[in-house]
Structure 1
Amino acid sequence: MRSLAGKHCIITGGSRGIGLAIARAFAAEGASCTLVGRDSATLAAAVQSLPSPSPSPSPYPNNDNPPPPPPETKPQHQSRAFDVSVLRGWEDMVAEMKSRQTPIDILVNSAGLSQNSLLIRTSPSAIERVLAANLSGAIWGCRAVIPRMMHQKSGCIINVSSLMAQHGGQGASIYAASKAGVVGLTRSLAWEVGRFGIRANVLLPGYIQTDMTKNMDGKGELSARIPLGRLGLVDEVAHAATFLAKNPYAHNCVLNIDGGMSAT
C-alpha cells in the first residue's frame, strides 16, 4: 500500500459530508488537501478542521545527515471557491497549481446535488442544475487534472457516485441518471488513462448519515430495508476512499458502500 504522506489531493464537495470526511481521512494519512466548494466561509472552516499535513518522506532514509529541505516546501491545506460545473474554475485552479509546481496526486469528485421530485414535476432548470453539479462537474474535473497527471506519470481519480446509479429510486430519476453517468465516465477513463500510470475508481455509497439525509422521512423504515439495519457513516465511506487511494493495483473498481442495499 502506498503512503499518502506528502501527497496533494483535490477534493470537491470538501466542505461537508462525505467530501470533508475523505479530506480528514487523507489529511490524517499525511496528505495536503485543496478543498473545493461554492462557499468561501464554509470551506475556510473545513480547512481549519483538518489535521496538519506531513511533508514528503525523505529520499535519504538511511542518511544521518540529509541535505536541508528547501524553504517553504511544507505542504498546507487550502481551499478554492468556485462552481465545479463551470470549466473555467477548474482551468484557473490547475493553471495556478502548475505555476507553483504543486502536484495533483489525487482528485476526488464528491460534489453533488440531490433530487426529491418526480420527473414530470421537476423543472427544466432543476434538471440542468443536478446534471451540471453531479456529472458535468466530475467530467470537467477529470478533464482538467488528467494532463497534469500524465506529465507526472501518476495519479488517482476517485469519483463518488451513488447506490442510485444501479438501484434507482422514486423521485430520483435525474440524480440516478447523473450518478450512472459518473460510473460510465470512470470506467471509460480507466481504459483511457491506465497506460499513463493514472488509476480511476468510483465509490457507490448507499444511504449515508449526511445533511442530505438528516431530515429525510421514513428513515426507520429505510434502515429496516438495509441488510445491515442502519444508515452508513461518512467515515466508513472515507475509509473506502483511502483504500482506493493507497492500493496501487486498485483500478476500475466500482465499490459499493451501502450496507448490502444493492443486493435487495
Structure 2
Amino acid sequence: MTAPTLVLVGGGWHVPASYSKLSNALKEAGYDVHVPRHPSTDEARPPINDLATDTEALRKYVGDLVEEGRTVVVAMHSYGGQVGTNALWDMDLKTRARQNLSGGISRLIYMCAFALPEGGSMIQKVEEMGDGYLMPIAFDFADDGSVVPRDPQTILIGPSDDEEVDPYLATLVRWNGKCMHDSITHCAWRHIPVTYLSTTQDFTIPVHYQESMVDVIRGQGVEVQAIQIESGHCPNLTKTNEVVDAINNAIGWTPTK
C-alpha cells in the first residue's frame, strides 16, 4: 500500500524543527511527511508576512503535491488551522474528480487548531469567548507588531519536567502578531472530511474554545470526528504516540513498521 502523504501545518512561533518528534514518529508509522515553514515565522523585524502570505505559500505547497496526483492528509496545529482552512478550500478529492483531475485532500485534521468560518480570526474567537483582556497578559507584543509568549512553557506545554521541553522551546521563534487579527476568506472544512483532536488541558486554546468551534462546524451540517487528548497545547511533543494513533484512526491507516 502506498504511504499516506501527510502535510503538517505548524502553529504560530513554530518552525519545522518544532515538530521533529511528531514528524519522526509519523515517518516510523509509514507516512511521507511534509512540514512547510510559514513565511510569517521568518523573524523579520518589522514583520512583513501575514496570514495572506502564509495562505499563498501553503496553497502552493499542497497544490504541488496534489497536482502530482497524490491523496493528501493535512494535519494542522493551532494557528495552522486558520492557514489550512483559508488555503485548501477547493482541493478536496470530489471537486478535483469532477474536474477529471487525480489527487486531492482526503481529510483535514485539526490538532487544537483554529477551525473558523469565513470572516473568522483568532482574536475574534478570543473576544467572542470573553477573554480579549488576557491577550497582553499572555503575549508580549513588540512595538513593531511581532510577538512571543510571555511564559511559553506554561502557555504552550503546561507543567512538565520532561528533558525534551527546553530543546522544544528553543525552536520557537518570534512571530507576526498581525496574524492573530487576520480573518479568513475561504473555508476548507465545508468540503473536506474533518477530524478534530481536542486537548483537555490547553491554556492557549482552552478546550471550551475548541468544542465551540466543533459545534459551529457541525451546525453547518458538516460531520466532525472528535478525539480528545489529555495534554496541553503541544500534544505533538507531550503525547506524540497518542497523536499518531489518532491520525491513524482518522484515515484508517495501519502502521507499516
TM class by smaller structure: 0.3 to 0.5
Structure showing greater Rg = 1
TM-score by length of 2: 0.42
TM-score by length of 1: 0.41
- Structure with the larger RCO, 1 or 2 (CA within 8 Å, 6+ apart): 2
